[in-house]
Structure 1
Amino acid sequence: MRTNTLRRGLVALLTAAISFGAIARAQAQTQQESVLRIGYQKYGTLVLLKARGTLEKRLAGQGFTVQWTEFPGGPQLLEGLNVGSIDFGVTGETPPVFAQAAGADLLYVAHEPPAPSGEAILLPKDSPIRSLAELKGKKIALNKGSNVHYLLVRALESAGLEYADIQPVYLPPADARAAFERGSVDAWVIWDPFQAAAEEQLQVRTLRDGQGLVSNHQFYLAARSFAEQHPEVLRTLITEIRDIGTWVEGNVDEATAQVAPLLGLSPAITRKAVLRQGYGARPIDPAVVRAQQDIADTFTELRLIPKKLAIADVVWTPPEGIAQHAE
């Protein structure tokens, strides 16, 4: 009798343990699915959105928490998206092209207006170089696959040069600045706020910025799986980004004061970068798709990406009832 009772007790205990384990796994899975993981860089609207905390409050009502991860550049951020460490992020024009070519299952969700002066080809203040044509044979530092990669290609074309005419030195921003200051490279192609910091701290000369050459859109991108499963979260997210952008346009000084300590830069440097940025996240339209297709085709022709891409295939179309407009 005692043996049967003991056996029944052990079976009950084992059953309870299995049930508890299943519940714990289900709770863990639910918790994991309820986290929005955002990748951001040391610039832009997402920095302010992170600091304000309004997104967290909005998404709490939808059962989501927010996790933020900083990346040094767009290519690194989209690699994070590709391997599944983030669900959403912001980059310049070129990183999504390289990421799509590498097989990343991403979707363009929204974009900011053009900001062509927010990236430039910089020279040391005592450089003898005076024209784009004089870049022939020179070492130029840039982050491969970043927005400035396309700026460099277009700038060289405007001077009658080919990409093969220069010596690209592929470095992330911090390493590129170090190489630039050492004199290991002849020029540096970079974006804000690194661009603004170099202008103020190093007294660099701007050989050419993006005006008249590139749009320098910022793109908000999501992992396809997240976009398909949680379109209402993306709608809330883009609404918050748009609202922050509208506020910045009317409150540049206050925005500068908030962003400067987050970036670890002076108010003067930060204000310059804030003023050069585009604000007002909006849906991807056919004109923007064509512009991105031109970028993709350019890098295919240069054999920097291995195949022709179709940008239209990776543009998010919200399901019916989930419109991309401010609430």
Structure 2
Amino acid sequence: MRIGVHPNNLHLRLASLWPGAFAGLDPVFVPYGEGRDTASLLESGAIHIGGTGSTPPIEADARGLHVEYVAASAPRPANGAIFVRAGSDIGSVADLAGRRISLIDGSFHTYLLARSLEGEGLALGDVERIEIGTQDSLTELLEGRVDAWVAMSPRLEKAIGRDDLRLLVRCGAAIPNRSLFWSLARVGLSPAEIAAIASELARIGGEIATDQVRAAHLLAEHDRSGTDAEAWERVVRSRDFSVVPIDAAVLAEQQEEADTLFRHGHFDRAVAISRLLEATK
């Protein structure tokens, strides 16, 4: 089993470091750069399963790749936020109209921004989305090249409490922000393999929850960004690592996101996850 691991999926990142993880599936952990690459790697056969935020599998379905959902994390309301400079004249989400916003477009950042704007009668087209790329978003914000920044762990935890930043909105106020573990129909995972993957993700999540210090030290030991164990422990303690098999409620959330992003013009056509909903009934 070729399991994709990118830096922003902490569950699979920890699984790749956790002794005995996925032992029954003869695992090969395949590192890659970011969650938006998951669909292409699945399509090419480089990996058989990956984990991302909620948006990349919808992007894959929009490309006609026929996503196979495997499991879902618990909601992670603390894992994303929108920041502005402390002295900014942006006092609320409504003030983002016409502003430059740094984010990883096509990730859950896009959905968080869309739902936040929608609550104020705005749409994605009312702001200028600036792709982060290789830029340091915090520096871009503080030096005024962007007006707001969509942040996530572990940089989020470092940003909270800074006196030169102001928190505008947290994830939990707008979206569930789950991790989704998924494949493509063409990969051909069997029902037994899907069940085994979901079960192993849940088992590892339970062990992480009972040994958070160990998890933090593993992350710090293999972290090239310089985030230390103390910072990683705050990240680990802030989230629920429980994982459940895919069910109708999670698929309904995915459909709501797909409909929202279509409504905002992010997709050229509607994305029907309802075909999967029918299979759960």
- TM-score bracket, shorter-length normalisation: 0.7 to 0.9
2:107 aligns with 146
Q: C-alpha separation between the residues in 2 aligned to 1:197 and 1:80? A: 31
- Structure 1 position 314, deviation (Å): 4.8
Q: Tell me the percent identity.
A: 27
1:252 aligns with 212
- Structure 1 position 174, deviation (Å): 5.0
2:29 aligns with 67
2:13 to 47, 50, 66: 47
Q: C-alpha separation between the residues in 2 aligned to 1:226 and 1:167? A: 37
- Structure 1 position 68, deviation (Å): 1.7
Higher share in helix: 1
Cα gap change, 1:84 to 1:203, in 2 (>3 Å): farther
2:200 aligns with 240
1:308 partner SS? coil
CA contact (8 A) 2:42 2:187 kept: no
2:178 aligns with 217
Cα gap change, 1:203 to 1:224, in 2 (>3 Å): farther
Cα gap change, 1:173 to 1:89, in 2 (>3 Å): farther
- Structure 1 position 181, deviation (Å): 4.5
Q: C-alpha separation between the residues in 1 aligned to 2:186 and 2:207? A: 31
CA contact (8 A) 1:116 1:215 kept: yes
- What are the residue-to-residue correspondences of 1:113-262 with 2, within 5 Å? 113-172=74-133, 175-199=136-160, 204-228=165-189, 230-262=190-222
Q: Does 1:83 align with 2:44?
A: yes
1:254 partner SS? helix
Q: C-alpha separation between the residues in 2 aligned to 1:88 and 1:178? A: 34
Q: C-alpha separation between the residues in 2 aligned to 1:227 and 1:215? A: 29
1:267 aligns with 229
Q: Rg bigger for which structure?
A: 1
- Structure 1 position 286, deviation (Å): 1.2
Give unpaired runs (5+ residues) of structure 2: none
**Normalization by structure 2: what TM-score?**
0.87
- What are the residue-to-residue correspondences of 1:18-37 with 2, within 5 Å? 35-37=1-3
1:189 is matched by which residue type in structure 2? Answer: V
Shifted more, 186-195 versus 112-121: the winner is 186-195
2:81 partner SS? strand
Q: C-alpha separation between the residues in 2 aligned to 1:315 and 1:276? A: 31
1:127 partner SS? coil
Cα gap change, 1:232 to 1:41, in 2 (>3 Å): farther
Q: Does 1:101 align with 2:62?
A: yes
- Structure 1 position 316, deviation (Å): 11
Q: C-alpha separation between the residues in 2 aligned to 1:82 and 1:201? A: 42
Shifted more, 185-194 versus 270-279: the winner is 270-279
2:266 aligns with 304
Q: C-alpha separation between the residues in 2 aligned to 1:69 and 1:233? A: 21
Cα gap change, 1:37 to 1:195, in 2 (>3 Å): same
**Normalization by structure 1: what TM-score?**
0.76
Cα gap change, 1:42 to 1:308, in 2 (>3 Å): closer
Give unpaired runs (5+ residues) of structure 1: 1-34, 319-327
CA contact (8 A) 2:198 2:245 kept: no
Q: Give the aligned CA root-mean-square deviation in angstroms.
A: 2.6
Q: C-alpha separation between the residues in 2 aligned to 1:304 and 1:145? A: 9
